[in-house]
């Protein structure tokens, strides 16, 4: 095989990040999302997958068709959809975070499982309709560390059995829609206090601890035929003191492939993340990950360098052609599982009816997931303040949300705190609210904050805990 043909073959195993919007000028993250010109070049050169974010569902349907035309072959078209299609694409259904379903499961196991499976089905069917064939979900991490800045609400629970039951149900739902699933972030990101987007988490678990706790949901999904598993950028020094899991033969080949007998696709988490890119070049990271047993390489910082490095290694026989073919065969096998189906498309009326049903189901889940300690509705003083903290101003794009209108109905005045606004805190006193800015009435506090990628140390909300204690003492709550 000549080197040009070999490079094209290697490129099949790479996934590039792109915007769901059709125009370059609309890209939300241009430093991460390649331009259309470069995207077309990469797909024509054999790159085998695209991870998408942004845009409307209608735009994405057009976008997916365009990408397939550029590639001229089967593509893996995926997105980080953990909470419904609307989490990433406007017009899709968005569901409560998985931890909300875990709260329902605590009260009613069967209801929680039913809801998780139905969320999986709705999400998978919506994704399939617009051209996606691979959901990078479910999150199988067990959120057993309260200081975890990046998993927390994304997890399906805080104990192995809850996470196992709910992720298994979710996977069944997605599979019914004939879309690929991905269990992540192997071997478990729940016990970290560092966001792997920003730095490399260090987790002091050995094999026996993983086996008795973190691996339980992953093993369950392996037995149920999950299509793929994503490896987390996590250092387990008791298992491999040198390499993070993504680059570790001990964790990918020895544990996942041999001990757990997983023969589906293994994919890296995004290689552009600082936990990898701070220490490894794109070429070196791709080479090391593939040598560890990875099949698919997601979002290297320099995709051409990564493809060239792996091509050179195979061409020089440092990595065997047989090893390359094995990963390509796994990719083809999983794609074939979801493409062997009846091609009949439902008409727009049926699809709109389906979307309405999904939306109504989503609203019903919200009510079921809320825990009310005490319900008191009474008129308040006109100086009383409804103080709302949000970490994303888009959360308040609809002025009719209950967090605003219900307090207004009993007399509260709304005051919204967000990252782009004026700080409510006293200077040099992080735990004290500047009450002179707020007024001298009673205060209703609503906090809509959550851990999420890239938030880092800003996830620490200890200042709010202290502020609430102080307001209690002053009888201001």
Q: Tell me what pLDDT residue 420 has.
A: 77
Q: Tell me what pLDDT residue 477 has.
A: 85
For tokens 């800003």, the residue is 458
Sign of CA dihedral 237, 240, 243, 247: negative
Give, in order, the Cα–Cα distances in Å from 330 to each of 29, 43, 325.
Answer: 31, 20, 9
* pLDDT string in tens for the chain (477-residue length): 899 999 999 999 999 999 999 999 999 899 999 999 999 999 999 999 999 999 999 999 999 999 999 999 999 999 999 999 999 999 999 999 999 999 999 999 999 999 999 999 999 999 999 999 999 999 999 999 888 888 989 999 999 999 999 999 999 999 999 999 999 999 999 999 888 988 999 999 999 999 999 999 999 999 999 999 999 999 999 999 999 999 999 999 999 999 999 999 999 999 999 999 999 999 999 999 999 999 999 999 999 999 999 999 999 999 999 999 999 999 999 999 987 554 545 667 787 888 888 989 998 898 788 777 666 667 788 889 999 988 776 666 666 677 888 888 889 998 888 877 788 888 765 667 888 778 888 899 988 877 667 666 555 677 788 888 888 888 888
Q: Tell me what pLDDT residue 467 has.
A: 85
Q: Tell me what pLDDT residue 32 has.
A: 92
Q: Tell me what pLDDT residue 469 has.
A: 87
With b for 16 or more beta-carbon neighbours within 10 A and e for fewer, the 243-268 pattern comes to: bbbbbbebbbbbbbbeebebebbbbb
With b for 16 or more beta-carbon neighbours within 10 A and e for fewer, the 8-24 pattern comes to: bbbbbbbbbbbbbbeee
Q: Tell me what pLDDT residue 423 has.
A: 81
The verdict on whether omega for the bond into residue 58 sits within 30 degrees of 0, i.e. cis, is no
Token pair for 363: 């609203």
Token pair for 23: 């125009």
Q: Tell me what pLDDT residue 344 has.
A: 47
pTM: 0.91
Sheet of 265-268, strand order: 182-186, 228-231, 265-268
Q: Tell me what pLDDT residue 435 has.
A: 81
């Amino acid at each position: 095989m000549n080197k040009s043909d070999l490079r094209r073959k290697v490129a099949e195993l790479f996934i590039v990040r792109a915007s769901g919007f059709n125009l370059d000028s609309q890209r939300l993250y241009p430093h991460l999302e390649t331009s259309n010109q470069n995207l077309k070049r990469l797909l024509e050169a054999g790159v085998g997958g695209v991870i998408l974010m942004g845009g409307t569902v209608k735009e994405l349907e057009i976008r997916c068709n365009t990408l397939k035309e550029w590639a001229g072959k089967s593509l893996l078209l995926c997105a980080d959809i953990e909470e419904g299609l609307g989490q990433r694409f406007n017009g899709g259904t968005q569901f409560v975070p998985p931890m909300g379903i875990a709260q329902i499961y605590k009260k009613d196991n069967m209801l929680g499982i039913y809801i998780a499976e139905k969320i999986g089905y709705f999400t998978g069917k919506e994704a399939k309709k617009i051209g996606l064939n691979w959901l990078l979900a479910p999150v199988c991490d067990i959120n057993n560390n309260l200081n975890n800045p990046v998993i927390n609400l994304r997890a399906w629970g805080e104990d192995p059995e809850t996470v196992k039951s709910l992720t298994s149900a979710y996977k069944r739902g997605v599979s019914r829609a004939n879309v690929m699933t991905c269990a992540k972030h192997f071997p478990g990101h729940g016990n970290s206090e560092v966001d792997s987007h920003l730095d490399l988490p260090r987790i002091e678990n050995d094999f026996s601890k993983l086996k008795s706790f973190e691996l339980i949901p992953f093993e369950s999904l392996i037995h149920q035929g999950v299509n793929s598993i994503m490896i987390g950028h996590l250092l387990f020094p008791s298992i491999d003191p040198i390499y993070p899991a993504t680059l570790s033969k001990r964790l990918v080949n020895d544990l996942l492939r041999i001990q757990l007998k997983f023969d589906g696709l293994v994919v890296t988490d995004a290689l552009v993340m600082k936990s990898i890119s701070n220490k490894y070049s794109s070429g070196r990271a791709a080479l090391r990950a593939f040598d560890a047993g990875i099949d698919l390489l997601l979002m290297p910082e320099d995709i051409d360098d990564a493809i060239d490095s792996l091509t050179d290694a195979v061409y020089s026989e440092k990595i065997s052609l047989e090893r390359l073919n094995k990963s390509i065969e796994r990719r083809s096998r999983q794609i074939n599982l979801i493409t062997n189906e009846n091609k009949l498309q439902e008409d727009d009326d049926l699809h709109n009816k389906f979307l309405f049903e999904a939306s109504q189901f989503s609203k019903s889940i919200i009510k079921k997931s809320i825990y009310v300690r005490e319900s008191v509705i009474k008129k308040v003083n006109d100086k009383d303040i409804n103080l709302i903290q949000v970490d994303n101003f888009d959360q308040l794009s609809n002025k009719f949300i209950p967090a605003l209108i219900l307090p207004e109905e009993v007399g509260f005045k709304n005051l919204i705190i967000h990252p782009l606004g004026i700080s409510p805190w006293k200077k040099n006193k992080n735990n004290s609210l500047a009450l002179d800015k707020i007024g001298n009435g009673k205060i209703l506090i609503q906090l809509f904050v959550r851990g999420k990628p890239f938030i880092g140390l800003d996830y620490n909300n200890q200042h709010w805990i202290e502020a609430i204690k102080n307001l209690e003492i002053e009888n201001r709550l």
